[in-house]
Amino acid sequence: MSLEGESTEEADPLDPFRQFVSLERDVLVLSVAMFAFSLGFQMTSRYMGEYLYALGASGLVVGLFGSFGNVISAVYPYPGGAISDRIGSRYALTAFGLCSTVGFGIWLVAPTLADVSVGPTSLAVVAVFLGLVLAQAWKSFGLGATFAIVKQAVPPSRLAAGFASTETFRRTAFLVGPLLAAALFYPFGSSDGGIVTAFQLILVVAVAFGALGTLVQHWLYDPAGDDIGSAFEGVTQLLADLRALPAELRPLLVADTLVRFANGMVYVFFVIVVTRFLEVGLSLSLPVIGAVDLSPQSYFGVLLGIEMLVALVTMIPVARAAERVGLKPVVAIGFAVYAIFPILLINAPPDAAVLAVLFAFSGLRFAGLPAHKALIVGPAERGAGGRVTGAYYLLRNLIVIPSAALGGLLWDGVPNPLTGAELFAGDPIVAFTVATAIGLFGTGYFLLFGEEFEAYQ
């Protein structure tokens, strides 16, 4: 499948928009699917901590939810990549899309189970955990497939630009989704009941877009260009793929794991910091409309929109800059932003303008993602891009699994199992400070030991 119509010699990051307007089928299919699922997942995933709080969950449970998501992120990519290499992207992505749509539906009906107790929590909270098993399928199972599509579509020296093309569509949904969520939160205020109702409306939209993306990619995707690899041979092949990871990836993998562990400690709590720790909304007067008062939940959606707008504006020029200066400096800048943002956020004053600046700064971390993906998949052989990507993410995400639970313990406190007294009284500032320290260590490691991909030297 070509991302550029008839030619695969160049990967102009603006070309997908031109081809989308001309309705060329291959570009239309990939871009619609990416937009649909990215919209649904971005509208929902960034608010899951708030949704769980509104359903009665504690900070520790929110952290455990983040770690459960890390388990899925670790387990899914390798088999997803192996499946896509074996059967092709069309059937793999269709199955993954259907699973994600069903997962959104489970989240939608979860509040109806709130009155059923399950130990110290409710069946509604359990349903949210179970829904994640399906909801994350397209994002994590399909990771190898989407990497492999770009790998087979562009030459090695243009991989960063090729990933910028697909990331531009994906991040456009990341811009639209939070703004739509902010609008849906607006009429319902900050009560737990209002938050649940607003989020259910958001999930209705996510289900609709998930169904659309699944149908479009199944019926319109042209699998003729897919690279079909050999059959998956089980654990033996998995171990062989892990041992055979290109040498260039090893320093990147160590640094990336440290940075992602740090981010994983606090990522699920970003919404809680804005809505319940700082409690920052936005009041302003607009021409014609008049006074507008955004609740912290609505304003968080606006902040995410600002973050994605910066990502979209910077992603293309940064991808082009990577072709001149190499991938390593660009990836290092992204790592640094990942590392610094948590400590800046938790120590920010409760001021709407300050948070807007901070989330704009956070958007710079996405500018390095095309270069990061190119550095991962670039050394892979044709027909094995899905497995290399899956093996890389398997190792990284296995280690990152406990990060959110650790963040939840530092946030909520650590009880003594014998006496019930607190061994450590939770402190959000401590949780976010520890995360930044780990992230900065990972960034420094990459600057010292990270290697460049030959096509960019």
Distances in Å between the Cα of 389 and the Cα atoms of 159, 282, 393 are: 14, 41, 6
Can you list the residues of the chain whose pLDDT is less than 50? 1-14, 16-24, 27, 227-232, 382-384, 455-456
Task: Assign 121 to helix, strand or coil.
Answer: strand
- The reported pLDDT for the residue numbered 435 is 97
- The reported pLDDT for the residue numbered 243 is 74
pLDDT in tens, 201-212: 999 999 999 998
DSSP letter at 8 equals -
pLDDT in tens, 281-322: 998 877 777 778 899 999 999 999 999 899 888 877 887 888
- β-bridge pairing 413-415 and 117-118: unpaired
Q: What would the two tokens of residue 253 be?
A: 């993998």
- The reported pLDDT for the residue numbered 228 is 46
- The reported pLDDT for the residue numbered 272 is 95
Q: Amino acid identity, residue 251?
A: P
Task: Assign 415 to helix, strand or coil.
Answer: strand
Which residues are within 8 A (CB) of 228 and not within 5 positions of it... i.e. 6 or more apart?
85, 86, 87, 88, 383
- The reported pLDDT for the residue numbered 303 is 96
Which ranges in 88-158 belong to alpha helices (H)?
A: 89-109, 123-135, 143-153
Is residue 92 packed enough to be buried (19+ CB in 10 Å), middle (13-18) or exposed (0-12)? Answer: buried
**Domain 22-223+237-456: which topology?**
Growth Hormone; Chain: A; (1.20.1250)
* Domain boundary assignment for the chain: 22-223+237-456
Do residues 99 and 412 lie in contact, with contact meaning Cβ atoms separated by under 8 Å?
A: no
Residue 95 half-sphere exposure, CB side, CA atoms within 13 Å? 12
Report CA torsion sign: 44, 305, 308, 430: negative
DSSP letter at 357 equals H
- The reported pLDDT for the residue numbered 411 is 93
- The reported pLDDT for the residue numbered 282 is 92
Residue 200 half-sphere exposure, CB side, CA atoms within 13 Å? 15
Is residue 356 packed enough to be buried (19+ CB in 10 Å), middle (13-18) or exposed (0-12)? Answer: middle
pLDDT in tens, 180-225: 999 999 988 788 899 999 999 999 999 999 998 888 777 766 555 5
The secondary structure of 201-234 as a DSSP string is HHHHHHHHHHHHHHHHHHHH--GGGPPP-PPP-T
pTM metric for this prediction: 0.82
Q: What would the two tokens of residue 388 be?
A: 């290399």
